[in-house]
Amino acid sequence: MITPVLLAILALVLTGPAPALLARSDWPYRVPRAAVILWQAIALAAVLAALGAGVALSYSIAGRPGEPRFDPSSARDLVAAAILAMVALVVVRLLWAIGRVAVGTRARRKRHRDLVDVLATPDGLIPGLRVLAEETPLAYCLPALRGARVVVSVGALERLDDSELKAVLAHEQAHLRARHDLVLEEFTALHHAFPRWVRSDVALEQARTLVELLADDDARRRNGAGPLARALVALAGSPAPEAAMAAAKSATVLRVQRLAGPAPNEARLSAVTYAAAAALLILPTITIAAPIVRAMVDALS
């Protein structure tokens, strides 16, 4: 009975306190690549631990793990089967959410790209660049396996000099190359997969910030910190009517302050973070697998 309790505790810690603590820390911003991996490991380990807790609970109620006998007249076996069914339901719900987010995102993105292609003018500066005749300063990318677009508005072009524009484009191309959108998609799916009262958007918000830092680091390596920081301030600092819509404190300040500091070089912190991510994944996996392996060994001997 100890395994399901341990796994349940692990799942609870990984959904509540651990993300809250991590989101309040500053060190992940020094190692954004490792931090993204750590967040993914936390999310995956939480799901594994929760599912594992269900499976382990079902096994411990029904009797010895791996025993193939099911007796419909036994209340214990029925409870065990009901718990397994619930676990299966959670898995289905998760897969459904992943599929729905993937399909929905792609449909919206395709419609947006169709509009961009008839409304915006191509520009040969980089492949896929489209210039939109709008005064609102705006720059974004539309990721895709083929035919990705980087969209820049005339209002943004007017506010940027050549080096700043290059920095913006390098930032967007980093997003497209590394497919940061797929990382965000995972966390969005996870966010949608769970009922409102258990989910939080901490992980998704953090993932959003971290992929921006990753793209910033890439652009910084190519064009230096100065142009990128100036571009950020030029495009964000302008008073715009939709300023009120930015409810949460934006990551922009963090990004510019980070660019004002020295370039991050944190090999050790990064290694520790990767190790933590690996440990997080191994822990629930071993806990789930151990009783099954033991049962198989028992069955063979």
Partner 1 sequence: MASEEKGPRPLGDLERLVMEQLWAAPAALTVREVHERLAGTRELAYTTVMTVLDRLAKKKLTERERDGKAWRYRAAAPREELAADLMRDALDRAGDRREALVRFVGQVSDEEAALLREALSRLNEQEPTG
What is the footprint of partner 1 within residues 88-147 (CB under 8 A)?
101, 104-105, 108-109, 112, 114-119, 121-122, 126-128, 132, 134, 136, 138-147
Give 14 or 165: the residue with its C-beta nearer to partner 1: 165
Query: Which tokens sit at 236?
Result: 């964000």
β 129-132/121-123 pair status: antiparallel
Q: Is 162 in the site for partner 1 (CB under 8 A)?
A: no
Residue 180 found at the interface with partner 1 (CB under 8 A): yes
Q: Is 185 in the site for partner 1 (CB under 8 A)?
A: yes
- Are the C-beta atoms of 205 and 176 separated by less than 8 Å? no
56 binds partner 1 (CB under 8 A): no
Closest C-alpha among 173, 217, 224, 222 to residue 31: 217
Structure tokens of 114?
Answer: 């169709």
Least separation in angstroms between CB 9 and partner 1: 32
> Which of the ranges 43-51, 87-95, 249-257, 285-293 carries the binding residues for partner 1, by CB under 8 A?
249-257
Cβ 174 to partner 1, closest distance in Å? 10
Name the minimum Å distance from CB 253 to partner 1. 5
Q: What whole-number distance in Å separates Cα of residue 188 and Cα of residue 102? A: 10
| SS3 call for 111 | helix
Q: How many residues bind partner 1 (CB under 8 A)?
A: 76
Answer left, alpha or beta for residue 261, where phi above 0 means left and psi between -120 and 50 means alpha.
Answer: beta
Contact 254, 29 (CB under 8 A): yes
32-51 residues near partner 1, rule: CB under 8 A: none
Which of the ranges 35-43, 46-54, 61-69, 182-190 carries the binding residues for partner 1, by CB under 8 A? 182-190
Nearer to partner 1, 206 or 287 (CB): 206
Instruction: List the structure tokens of 48.
Output: 């594994």
Q: Which residue, chain included where needed, has tokens 């029925």?
A: 78
Angle, vertex CA 109, rays to CA 169 and CA 237, nearest 5: 45
Decide if residue 24 touches partner 1 (CB under 8 A).
Answer: no
Q: In the bound complex, what is the minimum distance in angstroms from residue 38's beta carbon to partner 1?
A: 21
Q: Residue 74 or residue 105: which is nearer to partner 1 going by CB?
A: 105
Positions in 194-223 near partner 1 (CB under 8 A): 211
Query: Which of the stretches 20-28, 61-69, 82-90, 149-157 binds partner 1 when contact is defined by CB under 8 A?
Result: 149-157
Closest listed residue to residue 98, CA positions, set 177, 194, 167: 194
* Residue 179, burial from CB neighbour count under 10 angstroms (0-12, 13-18, 19+): middle
- Does 181 bind partner 1 (CB under 8 A)? Our answer is yes
- Asked whether the beta carbons of 251 and 32 are under 8 A apart, the reply is no
Alpha carbon 281 to its chain's center:
16
Of 129 and 280, nearer to partner 1 (C-beta) is 129
